[in-house]
Structure formats: C-alpha cells, structure tokens
C-alpha cells in the first residue's frame, strides 16, 4: 500500500500509477454534488440540451453534497460529507467517458460498468470517509464556482479548492480492478468455511463448552 499526494488537475499517468488500497491526499480544484437531478442535467448537457455551468473535462468529480448558503460574501459551504455513489451507477459510465473524468470520489463504490469506463479513460474511484464532515469541510479553502443555483444547495454543482483532503482510499483503480466487487466475492468465497466454523461453535455451545479461547 503506497501513499500519494495528488494535485488537481492531474494527468493520466499519475492516475494509472494508483493501485487498489493506496491512500491518496488531494489538493486543488474538485467538482462536487450530491444530487441525482444534477447528474441528469449533466447527461442533458452532453446531449446538447443544456449548458454546463463550467467544464468537466478531466475533472475530479466528488459525490460530496454540502450544506451551503448564499451570504453577502458569496456562497458559503457550512459542511460537506459524502453520499453513496452506487445511487448514480446507471449514469456514471456515460459521464466518466464523455468528460474523461480522472477521479470519481464518494462512498460505497461503483459497479462493473463504471469500472470499465474508468479503465478506458484512465480514472480512479476514491473512497472517502462517511461521517467525516468536520475533516472534509476543513479541507475546503475556497469555493470557485457554483452552478445550477435553482437546485437545493446539496444538489448544486460546486467547484472548490481543497487542501489535504483525505486520506482517501483507492477503491477502483484505472486497470479494471474493482475493490468493492472483490470484497463481495471474497466474502462469498469465505462463507462456506465460516458456516462450518459457526457449526462447530454451535455444537460446542450446545454441549455447554462455552467459547473457544483459541478462535
């Protein structure tokens, strides 16, 4: 497991160098949203049906909704925290391919089709701590753009400059390795052995043997 420090925008070689389980800290400009309607609007923009508020080519795209408010000093982010990326599985492959995203970040991972799109364009999925609102929020240094202000604040498309965001964990690399799928299949493979261990423990408990100190 290696540790990396990435400054966005990032070139594809740096992304392809990342391996599953590596830790990554991020500096620079990221784009964030937590809304399904926002993803649908991005797809509409790809189809020429609406304008993007700012370009997404090669972006770090974060499933990181915020509580934000419009103040006299501008758009203020009070706190951010990730949302579950798998909710956007059906839309993400198109978005990843069209804009050549370099990073998608959120919690919970993405599916096999997304991992294929990421491999094609050179993009990784970074897992960010759920329940890390203070740490993530304190990494924001500046809000550099806000799009689609007609949406509720956590659905808007927000561009921000971050420093030392993370550590984030590489959950899907740019070589088609999906850590989430691997975890699930490994857990399934382990099930028969675990059921056998449970059977032995049940029999011992039924015989009044209590717990097994060696287990």
Partner 1 sequence: MAITYEAVKSLTADLYEWSLKRIPDDAKEALDRAAAAETNESARKVLSMMRRSADRAENTDRFVCSDSGVPVYFIKVGTQARFEGDVKRAISDGFAHLVETIQPPLLKHVTNPLTNERSYAGKDMPMVSWDMIDGADYIDITCAPKALGSGRWASLEIFSFPTLEEIEAYILDVIVKTAAQQCPPVTIGVGIGGTFDYCTKIAKLATLRPLGTPSSEPVLAAMEERLLKAVNKLGFGPMGTGGDTTALAIHIEYASGHGFTPVAVCFNCWINRRTRARLYNDGRIERIGGPWRRII
CB of 206 to partner 1, least distance (A): 9
Number of residues that bind ligand SF4 (CB under 6 A): 2
CB of 184 to partner 1, least distance (A): 5
Which tokens sit at 21?
């389980």
167 binds, among partner 1, ligand SF4, none (CB under 5 to 8 A by kind): partner 1
Looking at the Cβ atoms of 83 and 178, the one nearer to ligand SF4 is 83
1 binds, among partner 1, ligand SF4, none (CB under 5 to 8 A by kind): partner 1
Task: Supply φ then ψ for residue 76, to 5 degrees.
Answer: -110, 130
Q: Torsion-angle region of residue 108: left (phi > 0), alpha (psi -120 to 50) or beta?
A: left
Residue 2's Cβ-count burial label (10 Å; 0-12, 13-18, 19+) is exposed
Which tokens sit at 11?
């070139």
Q: Contact, 154 vs 35, CB < 8 A?
A: yes
Q: Does 134 bind ligand SF4 (CB under 6 A)?
A: no
Q: Under the rule (CB under 8 A), what is the footprint of partner 1?
A: 1, 21, 23, 65-67, 69, 78-81, 83-84, 86, 107-109, 127, 129-135, 137-138, 152, 154, 167, 169, 171, 179-180, 183-184, 186-188, 190-191, 194-195, 197-199, 201-202, 205, 210-211, 215
Q: Mapping DSSP to helix (H, G, I), strand (E, B) and coil, where does residue 168 land?
A: strand
Quote the radius of gyration of the chain (alpha carbons, Å): 20
Q: Does 130 bind ligand SF4 (CB under 6 A)?
A: yes
């Amino acid at each position: 497991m290696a540790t990396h420090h990435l400054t966005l925008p990032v070139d594809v070689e740096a992304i392809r160098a990342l391996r599953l389980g590596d830790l990554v800290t991020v500096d620079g400009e990221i784009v964030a949203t937590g809304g399904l309607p926002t993803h649908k609007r991005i797809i509409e923009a790809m189809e020429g049906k609406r304008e993007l508020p700012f370009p997404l080519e090669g972006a770090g795209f974060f499933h990181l909704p915020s509580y934000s408010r419009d103040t006299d000093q501008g758009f203020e982010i009070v706190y951010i925290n990730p949302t579950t990326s798998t909710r956007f599985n059906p839309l993400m492959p198109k978005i990843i391919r069209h804009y050549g995203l370099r990073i998608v970040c959120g919690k919970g991972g993405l599916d096999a089709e997304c991992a294929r799109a990421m491999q094609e364009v050179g993009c990784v999925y970074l897992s960010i701590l759920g329940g890390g609102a203070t740490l993530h929020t304190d990494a924001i240094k500046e809000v550099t753009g806000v799009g689609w202000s007609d949406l509720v604040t956590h659905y808007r498309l927000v561009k921000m400059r971050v420093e030392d965001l993370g550590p984030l964990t590489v959950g899907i690399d740019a070589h088609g390795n999906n850590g989430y799928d691997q975890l699930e299949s490994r857990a399934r493979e382990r099930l028969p052995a675990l059921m056998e261990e449970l059977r032995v423990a049940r029999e011992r408990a039924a015989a009044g043997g209590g717990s097994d100190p060696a287990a």
